[in-house]
Amino acid sequence: MGPKTKVKVVYPVVEADRPVWPYINYDYQKRAKEITELLKENLPDIEFSPSCSHPGEEAEEIVKGEYDGYLLYIIGQQWSDKWKEVIKKGFPTVLVDDLYAGTGDFLKTYSYAKRENLPVVGIASSNFGDVINAVGLFEVIKSMKDAKIIDVIDNKESGLTPLASHIKPIKDIFGTEVLRMDSDDLNSYYNNVDESEAKEWADKWIDESLKVVEPSRNEIVKSAKMYLALKKAMVDKDADAVTIDCLGLYYSGKFPAYPCLAFFQLNNEGATGVCEADLDSTVTQLMMRYLTKRPGYVSDPVIDTASNKIIYAHCVGTNRVYGPDGVANPYIIRSHAEDRKGASVQSLMPLGERITTVAVDVCEKALSIHQGRTVANVEENKACRTKLAAEVDSEKILNNYHFERFAWHRVTVYGEWRREVINLAILLGLEVCEEDR
């Protein structure tokens, strides 16, 4: 585990004997101490650096030091433009109105932040949990800064999102490092896998599945070797996620097995594995994993306006949608859909649940989001094996599906995460496109 997330907490205070909100000679020090103790109690993995800011303090003094984020908690009304100068520095900031204390300064500063599209999340709520949820997003930002992604490709221009065009914006937005491997590198890991250990994993997957339809045991063993190879590569490179140009490398005969079951297992364990060298989907799924502690499900959505549904289809799917320690759902081992070769997963995911679907386009600095409720696991021989159907406003999504920006893939996570995702996008400086609004 790396260093803790560091957050600077600033409490605006007012000089004695001044009649202003909350009231004359208010005990600011006591209130600041109360809030700081609540923050530390609820967010023990964050290192808070609190300070009280007096009217004469300059903005440059406030933003000194290295922090992952700033919490500007308005407990006193200074009626100062200083807070505009602070947020103009462009650091991720949570701005809080301590109700009836600094509301004027809060509204003045927050309206300016919105107008200027600054990375500021505003909280005006009597529920302290809303503050905790917002400040907790700094931990996601820190985790992304510390993360590494392996991209397995033979050509920097191959895959759905070419490494050549994505490595810099990923670093600029998230701080995440992308490490390139080629097929020879991964095959070297594959060829050194212990065959007996691979057979144990294959038998475990077979035993825990509802059934195996097309693949032979030998094909599943090859998938297990791919899993063990990827896991070893991720350990060696201290990586948090991996994505592979799987279709290109398998179709060209450079890979002995699809990574579908490998990604299935990695995602179940709390790591991140994503298909098709799709770096946009990989940073999206990694971000959502740090936010929710749950694996994402990358898919090619199919929209059906007749039934008001969207069907999320893919040949990789977790069966632990609530996280590594959550309840597992049934799955079937199938062949890969397009070519009817190899081994993949048909996951029968839980129904009647709210889900949040997200995509990040790092080159456009944008994020799309929509939500729905799961209603069916579709049995259809066409297209990918797992087909999770959700009830949505299909007409709105159809008309707002920005393919030219976000392409086809979307990442679905179980749970109601709209507010958290949008706030995180704001802190990261991403434009938000709500596909169902």
pLDDT tens-digit series, residues 166-188: 999 999 999 999 999 999 999 99
User: What's the mean pLDDT in 252-276?
Assistant: 97
pLDDT of residue 383: 94
Is the pLDDT assigned to residue 159 strictly greater than 80?
no
Q: Give dist(CA 225, CA 407) in Å, integer.
A: 31
Buried b (16+ CB within 10 A) or exposed e, 50-71: bebbeeebebeebbeeebbbbb
**Tens of pLDDT, residues 48-76:** 999 999 998 999 999 999 999 999 999 99
The residue type at 58: E
DSSP state letters, 116-171: TT-SEEEE--S-HHHHHHHHTHHHHHHHHHH-EEEEE-SSTT-SSS-HHHHHHHHH
The Cα–Cα gap between 296 and 410 comes to 9
Does residue 433 carry a pLDDT above 90? yes
One-letter amino acid identity for 333?
A: I
Give CA–CA dist 187/144, Å, rounded.
28
pTM of the model: 0.96
Collapsing DSSP states into helix, strand and coil, what is residue 192? coil
Q: How confident is the model at residue 160 (pLDDT cuts 50, 70, 90)?
A: confident
Beta pairing partners, 309: 304, 391
Instruction: Check the CA dihedral 372-360-381-213 and report its sign.
Output: negative
What is the reported pLDDT for 1?
60
* Residue 152 pLDDT level (bands cut at 50, 70, 90): very high
- Is 90 exceeded by the pLDDT of residue 156? no
Which residues are CB-neighbours of 188 under 8 A, at least 6 positions away? none
Indicate the pairing of strand 93-97 with strand 69-74: parallel
3-state helix, strand, coil in the chain (%, to 5): 35, 25, 40
CA distance 300 to 347: 15
Average pLDDT for 329-334: 98
Q: pLDDT class for 329, splitting at 50, 70, 90?
A: very high
Sign of CA dihedral 369, 371, 377, 383: negative
- 71: β partners: 9, 94
Is 80 exceeded by the pLDDT of residue 13?
yes
Cα 27 from Cα 367, distance rounded (Å): 42
**Residue of higher predicted confidence among 163 and 224:** 224
Nearest to 63, CA basis, from 20, 24, 19, 10: 10
pLDDT of residue 155: 85
Domains of the chain, first to last: 5-141 (3.40.50), 147-434 (3.20.14)
Q: DSSP code of 79?
A: -
Q: Can you give the pLDDT at residue 164? A: 86
| Percent above pLDDT 70 for the chain | 100
The CA distance from 101 to 13, in Å, is: 10
What is the C-alpha separation between 360 and 431, in angstroms, rounded?
10
What is the distance between the alpha carbons of residues 215 and 217, in angstroms, rounded to a whole number?
Answer: 7
Inter-residue long-range contacts of 12-19, CB under 8 Å, 24+ positions, other chains counted: 12/52, 12/53, 12/72, 12/74, 12/75, 12/76, 12/77, 12/78, 12/80, 12/83, 12/102, 12/105, 13/52, 13/53, 13/54, 13/75, 13/76, 14/55, 14/76, 14/77, 14/78, 15/54, 15/55
pLDDT score of 157:
77
Sign (positive/negative) of CA torsion 37, 42, 44, 48? Answer: negative
Q: What are phi and psi of 90, to 5 degrees?
A: 85, 15
What average pLDDT does the chain have?
96
Once rounded to an integer, what is the mean pLDDT over residues 141-156?
Answer: 95
The contacts of residue 90 (CB under 8 Å, 6+ apart) are: 118, 119
